[in-house]
């Protein structure tokens, strides 16, 4: 059954509008040139006309809305139709992503005033928190073509999918916590390095586990 929640839709719309309203409020007081690029240390290394700040903020807001309605449509467009088995989980994931994108937008807007501290201390911890939340729900994700570790052998074998995502869930939760703590209490550079290292690990290990499980299952049936 498709998840229908007007409250959640309104919540996502509000989260998409808040950054736009905040930028409109600050816009008259912004300098003519605003930061548009940051190096790996989180330092500003490029400036442009302040009108350019609207581009990423508008794109993120549209993404926010688009992701929400995509998740609402998943039960209908998923070829496996298993997305319909977990509508509340999809709704929660959609809300988590909406909050994440709104936080990043607010931090980006604050950075245009020259205050990059909020962006530097928000981006990595927010990504870590998002991984932790997604990992917590990954445990119960049903086989589908849109969310999860979509490999040929996981999509074709429900047991492989279930065991892989149970295995993957704990690594994403632990990895997300490590990223969150590192991003909060270390420099932006250290946080980015840890982010990429942890991300590599929490993707490679489940893929390897899933493939070995697939090979073992294939050998047992041969």
Band (pLDDT 50/70/90 cuts) for residue 33 is confident
Distance of CA 95 to the CA centre of its chain: 11
Q: Mean pLDDT, to the nearest integer, of 169-186?
A: 95
Asked whether 57 and 109 are in contact (CB, 8 A), the reply is yes
Distance of CA 200 to the CA centre of its chain: 15
- Distance, CA of 15 to CA of 90 (rounded, Å): 17
Helix (H) or strand (E) holding 41: none
pLDDT of residue 25: 94
Q: Is residue 150's pLDDT more than 80?
A: yes
Q: Mean pLDDT, to the nearest integer, of 19-43?
A: 86
pLDDT of residue 4: 52
- Give exposure, 70-105, as e/b (b: 16+ Cβ within 10 Å): ebbebbeebeeebbbbbbebbbbbbbbbbbbbbbbb
Q: Where are the alpha helices (DSSP H) in the chain?
A: 6-26, 54-77, 87-111, 117-138, 152-156, 158-185, 188-221
* Partners of 37 in beta bridges: 46
Asked whether 160 and 167 are in contact (CB, 8 A), the reply is no
Q: Is residue 132's pLDDT more than 60?
A: yes
**What is each CA distance from 30 to 35, 126, 191, 207, in whole angstroms?**
11, 25, 29, 46
pLDDT of residue 3: 47
- Range in 75-84, 93-102, 166-175 the model is least confident about: 75-84
Q: What is the DSSP letter of 81?
A: -
Beta-strand pair 33-38/44-49: antiparallel
Q: Is residue 74's pLDDT more than 80?
A: no
- Distance, CA of 65 to CA of 18 (rounded, Å): 13
């Amino acid at each position: 059954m498709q998840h229908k929640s007007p409250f959640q839709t309104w919540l996502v719309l509000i989260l998409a509008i808040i950054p736009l309203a905040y930028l409109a409020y600050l816009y008259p007081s912004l300098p003519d040139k605003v930061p548009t690029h940051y190096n790996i240390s989180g330092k500003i290394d490029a400036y442009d006309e302040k009108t350019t700040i609207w581009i990423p903020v508008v794109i993120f807001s549209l993404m926010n809305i688009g992701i929400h309605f995509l998740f609402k449509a998943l039960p209908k467009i998923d070829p496996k139709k298993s997305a319909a088995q977990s509508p509340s989980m999809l709704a929660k994931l959609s809300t988590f992503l909406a909050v994440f994108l709104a936080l990043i937008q607010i931090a980006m807007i604050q950075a245009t005033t020259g205050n990059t501290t909020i962006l530097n201390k928000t981006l990595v911890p927010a990504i870590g928190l998002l991984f932790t939340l997604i990992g917590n729900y990954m445990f119960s994700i049903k086989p589908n073509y849109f969310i999860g570790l979509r490999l040929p052998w996981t999509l074709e074998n429900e047991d492989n999918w279930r065991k892989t995502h149970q295995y993957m869930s704990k690594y994403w939760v632990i990895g997300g916590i490590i990223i969150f703590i590192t991003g909060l209490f270390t420099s932006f550079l250290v946080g980015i390095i840890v982010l990429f290292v942890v991300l590599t690990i929490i993707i490679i290990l489940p893929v390897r586990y899933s493939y070995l499980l697939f090979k073992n299952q294939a050998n047992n049936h041969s």
